[in-house]
Amino acid sequence: MPTNVPPQYYEAETRFRKAKTTEEKIAILEEMMILMPKHKGTDKLRVTLNQKLKKLKEGEDEKKGGKRQTVSVPREGAAQVTLIGAPNVGKSQLITSMTKATPEVAAYPFTTRMPVPGMVVFEDVQIQLIELPAITESSMEVWVPEIIRGSDLLLIMLDLASSDLLDCIDPIIRQLEKHHIFLVKEIPPEEEQKVSVGYMRTMLLGNKVDHPDASANLELFQEWLKNRFYFFGCVSAQDPSTLTLFAKNLFDALKIIRVYTKAPGRKFDKIDPVILPAGATMVDAAKTLHKEIAEKFKFARVWGDGVHDGQQVAKDHILKDGWVLEFHI
Ligand SMILES: Nc1nc2c(ncn2[C@@H]2O[C@H](COP(=O)(O)OP(=O)(O)OP(=O)(O)O)[C@@H](O)[C@H]2O)c(=O)[nH]1
Ligand SMILES: [Mg+2]
């Protein structure tokens, strides 16, 4: 047995020995791979586990009569947001209203079987919004967790016309937990994170606010839902007047800012923003231009909200959305 594997690894190993189904064994092996630190002492074990995992997966694929399906969506734009929910809640309708994508919108469940990406435009920023196939207690496409894990924010759409909103959301939480994805209001600080768990920042989006029972249905679960997640808002995906703030809210929810850089003495156009996480500093912005600029710049000038035109600021000054930056080497 290699040295330096955490106690959670041994605990997973015990569960693996007791596991009955191949699916369970695959999930635990994947967990063990994540838990195993990467160093020389674990190389051999890593190879053995990988072989075991491959064999189990091949067995599963044969049982299902084909190859394991992998599906991915290449990232585009400033951020990637995944949109999930129970069947028929109106995910495709929202994608149709907010982007140029044209998925089928229909009054029967599981209309969408593959990811549908579209670009939501907020001023000069494009945000990728991806509809994923509906998730229920008994069904979730195998590739869905991986796409969610890679996204920056998860939106769960609720059907406000339904009198049991928890019925829509509970199965989703449970399905994703089986794949070690924990849906959270905010990502916990690193020291409080559990090993082998992926945290996903999640917000709720109520749809079909035009339905006569919408506010009464929401009222019933408001407290529970509010304590568990932040509410992104309530809309009617069919009614553009309820969607006017959607793109801005999405930008704000992502906790990102855009800045523009210009060379000293040059005029500049507000195009092609640099996207950075909120809280980023002048040095972070300089890094996006060049490592050397970040290391060497003597001072920087900024234009924008809260500063005088061309004001000189410190290297660790926190940026604001919309600022224009000029680095002096
Ligand atoms: N009243 C009302 N109906 C809506 C709204 N949005 C969608 N619908 C209707 O709800 C039904 C389902 O809409 P879809 O957009 O196909 O739902 P979905 O979540 O993509 O469904 P699946 O892909 O099957 O999971 C359709 O009949 C839509 O016309 C809305 O805001 N208000
Ligand atoms: Mg759909």
Tokens of 202: 């999640």
For residues 110 and 36, membership in a common domain is answered with no
Question: Is the pLDDT confidence value at 68 over 70?
Answer: no
Q: Is residue 60, in this structure, part of any structural domain at all?
A: yes
For ligand 1, the distance from its centroid to the CA atom of residue 83, given in whole angstroms, is 13
The strand ranges marked E within the chain are 79-85, 116-122, 125-131, 153-159, 181-184, 198-207, 230-234, 256-261, 274-277, 299-303, 311-313, 324-328
For residues 241 and 190, membership in a common domain is answered with yes
For residues 158 and 110, membership in a common domain is answered with yes
3-state secondary structure of 201: strand
For residues 93 and 240, membership in a common domain is answered with yes
Q: Is residue 223, in this structure, part of any structural domain at all?
A: yes
For residues 84 and 201, membership in a common domain is answered with yes
Q: What is the mean pLDDT of residues 242-270?
A: 92
Ligand 1 atom at minimum distance from 237 CA: 31
pLDDT bin (cut points 50, 70, 90) of residue 83 is: very high
pLDDT at 156: 98
pLDDT at 269: 75
**End-of-domain residue from the set 206, 236, 253:** 253
18 or 96: which carries more pLDDT confidence? 96
pLDDT bin (cut points 50, 70, 90) of residue 80 is: very high
For residues 267 and 180, membership in a common domain is answered with no
For residues 247 and 280, membership in a common domain is answered with no
Closest residue by Cα to atom 13, ligand 1, is 90
Q: What is the pLDDT of residues 140-151, one digit of tens each?
A: 999 999 999 999
pLDDT at 3: 61
pLDDT at 217: 94
Q: 98, 145 in Cβ contact below 8 A?
A: no
Q: Is residue 69, in this structure, part of any structural domain at all?
A: no
For ligand 1, the distance from its centroid to the CA atom of residue 88, given in whole angstroms, is 5
Q: Is residue 71, in this structure, part of any structural domain at all?
A: no
Please state, in angstroms and rounded to a whole number, the distance separating the CA atoms of residues 305 and 308.
8
pLDDT bin (cut points 50, 70, 90) of residue 22 is: confident
Ligand 1 atom at minimum distance from 110 CA: 24
pLDDT bin (cut points 50, 70, 90) of residue 323 is: very high
For residues 148 and 279, membership in a common domain is answered with no
Per-residue DSSP letter, 68? P
- Kindly tell me the sign of the dihedral angle through the C-alpha atoms of 178, 179, 184, 190: positive
CATH assignment of the domain containing 242: 3.40.50.300
Q: 21, 29 in Cβ contact below 8 A?
A: no
Ligand 1 mutation pick, 82, 83, 84, 88, max ligand atoms within 8 A of CB: 88
For residues 231 and 277, membership in a common domain is answered with no
For residues 139 and 266, membership in a common domain is answered with no
Considering only CA atoms, which of 80, 83, 105 is closest in space to residue 92?
105
Please state, in angstroms and rounded to a whole number, the distance separating the CA atoms of residues 193 and 189.
7
Q: What is the mean pLDDT of residues 25-41?
A: 81
Ligand 1 mutation pick, 89, 91, 93, 113, max ligand atoms within 8 A of CB: 93
Pocket of ligand 1 (CB under 6 A): 85, 87-93, 105-107, 109-112, 134, 207-208, 210-211, 236-238
Q: Angle 22-35/43-64 helices, nearest 10 degrees?
A: 150
Ligand number, closest to the Cα atom of 161: 1
For ligand 1, the distance from its centroid to the CA atom of residue 24, given in whole angstroms, is 34
Q: Is residue 26, in this structure, part of any structural domain at all?
A: yes
Q: Is residue 268, in this structure, part of any structural domain at all?
A: yes
Please state, in angstroms and rounded to a whole number, the distance separating the CA atoms of residues 234 and 231.
8
**Count of the separate structural domains present in the chain:** 3
Please state, in angstroms and rounded to a whole number, the distance separating the CA atoms of residues 39 and 314.
41
**End-of-domain residue from the set 197, 230, 253:** 253
> How far apart, in Å, are the Cα atoms of 240 and each of 97, 123, 129, 156, 210?
7, 17, 17, 20, 12
Q: Is residue 315, in this structure, part of any structural domain at all?
A: yes
User: Which domain does 260 fall in, by range?
Assistant: 256-328
pLDDT at 21: 83
For ligand 2, the distance from its centroid to the CA atom of residue 107, given in whole angstroms, is 10
Considering only CA atoms, which of 132, 133, 117 is closest in space to residue 79?
117
For residues 279 and 239, membership in a common domain is answered with no
pLDDT at 203: 97
pLDDT at 104: 96
Phi, psi of 167, rounded to the nearest 5 degrees: -60, -30
pLDDT at 279: 96
For ligand 1, the distance from its centroid to the CA atom of residue 286, given in whole angstroms, is 45
Q: What is the pLDDT of residues 104-129, one digit of tens each?
A: 999 988 999 999 999 999 999 999 99
Question: Is the pLDDT confidence value at 215 over 90?
Answer: yes
**End-of-domain residue from the set 230, 253, 276:** 253
pLDDT at 39: 76
Q: What is the pLDDT of residues 146-167, one digit of tens each?
A: 999 999 999 999 999 999 898 8
pLDDT at 176: 95
For residues 304 and 185, membership in a common domain is answered with no
pLDDT bin (cut points 50, 70, 90) of residue 76 is: very high
Q: Is residue 70, in this structure, part of any structural domain at all?
A: no
Q: What is the mean pLDDT of residues 239-267?
A: 94
For ligand 2, the distance from its centroid to the CA atom of residue 208, given in whole angstroms, is 14
Please state, in angstroms and rounded to a whole number, the distance separating the CA atoms of residues 275 and 303.
17
